[in-house]
Structure 1
Amino acid sequence: MSEIRLAAEPRNEFGKGAARRARRAGFVPGVVYGHGHAPVHLNLPSHALMMALKTPNALLVVPIEGKDEFVLPKAVQREAIKRSIEHVDLLLVKRGETVSVEIPVLTEGELAPGGNLVEHVLNNLPVEAEATHLPESVTVSIQGLEAGASILAGDIELPKGTKLGVEADTVVLQVIGAQASQADADAEAADEAASA
């Protein structure tokens, strides 16, 4: 995973008014915590932060007291309608440290013929990995799977140095038969015909 450097500035003003001024100036208020350090308040460049957060579990590099530090996004607050970032909590991490994160589960391949559907029981898979080598996602093959098939967490091949953060028998994906959805569609069509 690549490191994304952000030109953060120390934040000395607090409260709603100060946060609004920072946002108008193109910054997002944030706080860095972890490793027993007192929380450090920063203003982060809004556009650069938004672009960085498009990468799951982005490893950010921010200057703290004159020294570059690794941080991971822990909580992101967004504005309800525009979805712009209002505030971000960042977790201080060190090279070599193992951290717990969730990575997106992607699928590849085609199901067996028959109109079956894949249900993501877990959209994100909890894993543990070294802070500077976090996987961005994991890809699972669904090629040829039939209704009733499921993929367990233990079945998924993880990148080297990554461990599962859930039990191996946790269901991640399952294939649902098309019969139920077809029966619903048929019933709906019958209702429409009766009302016409």
Structure 2
Amino acid sequence: MSSEKIVAEVRTEFGKGAARRIRRADKVPAVVYTHGEQPRHLTLPGHDTMMALKHGGANALVELDIEGELQLALTKQVQVDPIKRFLEHVDFIAVKRGEKVTVDVPVHLNGEAAKETLVVTENATVSLEAEATHIPEWIEVSIEGAEAGTLIYASDLVLPKGSELLTDPETLIVNVTQQQSEEALEADLESAEDEAGIEREESDEAAAEGDDAGE
């Protein structure tokens, strides 16, 4: 994973009012956490930061230029406005080249399973240990032609060189089952409703058919 360079400013103002002023200037408040040191509060350019996170994925690696000092940092938490979708705040962890880090990496399915099957992703991420500069954006899993009954476990995943699986190897990642017909789904629903004592209201069509039959 390559890092993208972002020019950062040291932040001296804090609180909600200061954060609002930073965002109005199309910038993003951020914090870099370093083991054994005080957190560094920064202001980042909004567009550059958004693009870096978009390109790097969930574990984006950036190179922060903090007043001429370069610091590699791994994205740990991103807060996004739920409506306007702008960045509200970003937390980073300072890392070094060659340093091993623990990350959660998304699983991407590739291909199409056999006809009349249902593909269920039981776990959408796996935990890995990898070098900070070689974190995979995702782990690809092929389900091309997979038949009903196919089970893919964490131990089946092909990891990039240098990555070590931390998730339990027996964790189920993908479950390919037989797709149920509409008739079978309807029967299961009716059975569940009967057990729960739920009575269905008769539809207008069914009522009309009943009236016609009685004439």
Q: Same fold (TM over 0.5)?
A: yes
Please say which structure displays the higher CA radius of gyration. 2
Aligned residues: 193
Q: Does 1:160 align with 2:161?
A: yes
Which of 85, 98, 101 matches 2:100? 98
How far did 1:110 drift? 2.0
Superposed CA RMSD: 2.1
| Pairs within 5 Å for 1:21-100 | 21-54=21-54, 55-56=56-57, 57-64=59-66, 66-100=68-102
Query: Which residue identity is paired with 2:40?
Result: V
Query: Which residue identity is paired with 2:112?
Result: E
Q: What is aligned with 1:129?
A: 130
Query: Which residue identity is paired with 2:166?
Result: G
Q: 1:13 to 1:181 in 2, by over 3 A?
A: farther
Further displaced range: 48-57 or 93-102: 48-57
Q: Say whether the 8 Å CA contact 2:118–2:176 is kept in structure 1.
A: yes
Q: 1:117 to 1:38 in 2, by over 3 A?
A: same
TM-score (norm 1): 0.90
Deviations 1:90-149 (A, max 9, x none): 1001111111111121112221222x1211111122111000111111111112222222
Q: 1:162 to 1:192 in 2, by over 3 A?
A: farther
Higher helix share: 2
Runs of 4+ that moved beyond 6 A? none
Higher strand share: 1
1-structure distance, mates of 2:110, 2:183? 24
Query: Which residue identity is paired with 1:150?
Result: L
How far did 1:16 drift? 0.7
Q: What is aligned with 2:170?
A: 169
